[in-house]
């Protein structure tokens, strides 16, 4: 017999920021999303920041060339209950290192994993990056991208 009063299991959430700078509007946006989620349910968070690890894997071609920290980050991504991914928009797409990181993710690791897509850009003109760049990338992995993403411009970060 199940215990109806049992506390739900904490969700293992991995947030990935493709922002390359610190501070980063993309990291701030993802943190705001994580904070909202944490108010609704218990989570265990792993925050992967390309601003911290980008220099560690940019020259790698094969996964076995990656340092342990990046391999651990990839293992967390592949084992997540859900992902929150975000990137600044560069030349109408995600950052190159963001794509390079996901090139190392095992092809079937994200099947049916829920993914919230987020992006930041200088203006509303780049908002379609969610639909034309991020959604196809995670569709390749057969992940379950949430139907609504989050896009923020510079104006969203000014008081």
Reported as a pLDDT band with limits 50, 70 and 90, residue 53 is very high
Comparison of pLDDT for 92 and 141, the residue scoring more: 141
Q: What is the mean pLDDT of the chain?
A: 95
Asked if residue 4 has pLDDT above 90, the reply is no
Q: What pLDDT does residue 158 have?
A: 76
Helices (H), ranges, the chain: 25-40, 50-57, 68-79, 96-103, 129, 135-140
Reported as half-sphere exposure (CB side, CA atoms, 13 A), residue 35 has a value of: 6
Asked if residue 120 has pLDDT above 90, the reply is yes
DSSP annotation of 138:
H
Domain assignment present for 2: no
Q: Which domain holds residue 49?
A: 11-157
- CATH number, domain at 123? 3.40.50.360
Residue 84: name the closest of 152, 10, 20, 145 by CA.
Answer: 145
Domain assignment present for 82: yes
> Percentage of the chain with pLDDT > 70?
96
pLDDT per residue as tens digits for the range 54-111: 999 999 999 999 999 999 999 999 999 999 999 999 889 999 999 999 999 999 999 9
Domain assignment present for 126: yes
Domain count, the chain: 1
> Percentage of the chain with pLDDT > 90?
86
Q: What pLDDT does residue 2 have?
A: 59
Q: Is 53 exposed, middle or buried (0-12, 13-18, 19+ CB in 10 A)?
A: middle
Domain assignment present for 6: no
Q: Are 44 and 10 in contact (CB under 8 A)?
A: yes
Phi and psi angles of residue 140, each rounded to the nearest 5 degrees, phi first: -55, -40
Q: What pLDDT does residue 52 have?
A: 96
Domain assignment present for 64: yes
């Amino acid at each position: 017999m199940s215990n109806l009063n049992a506390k739900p299991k904490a969700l293992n959430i991995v947030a990935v920021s493709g922002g390359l700078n610190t501070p980063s509007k993309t990291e701030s946006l993802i943190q705001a999303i994580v904070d909202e989620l944490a108010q609704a349910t218990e989570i265990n968070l792993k925050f992967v920041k390309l601003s911290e690890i980008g220099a560690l894997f940019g020259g790698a071609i094969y996964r076995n060339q990656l340092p342990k920290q990046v391999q651990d980050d990839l293992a967390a991504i592949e084992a997540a209950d859900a992902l929150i991914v975000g990137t600044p928009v560069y030349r109408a797409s995600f950052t190159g290192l963001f794509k390079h990181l996901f090139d190392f993710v095992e092809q079937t690791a994200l099947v049916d994993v829920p993914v919230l897509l987020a992006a930041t850009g200088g203006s509303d003109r780049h908002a379609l990056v969610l639909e034309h760049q991020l959604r196809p990338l995670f569709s390749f992995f057969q992940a379950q991208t949430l139907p609504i993403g989050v896009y923020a411009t510079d104006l969203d970060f000014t008081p």
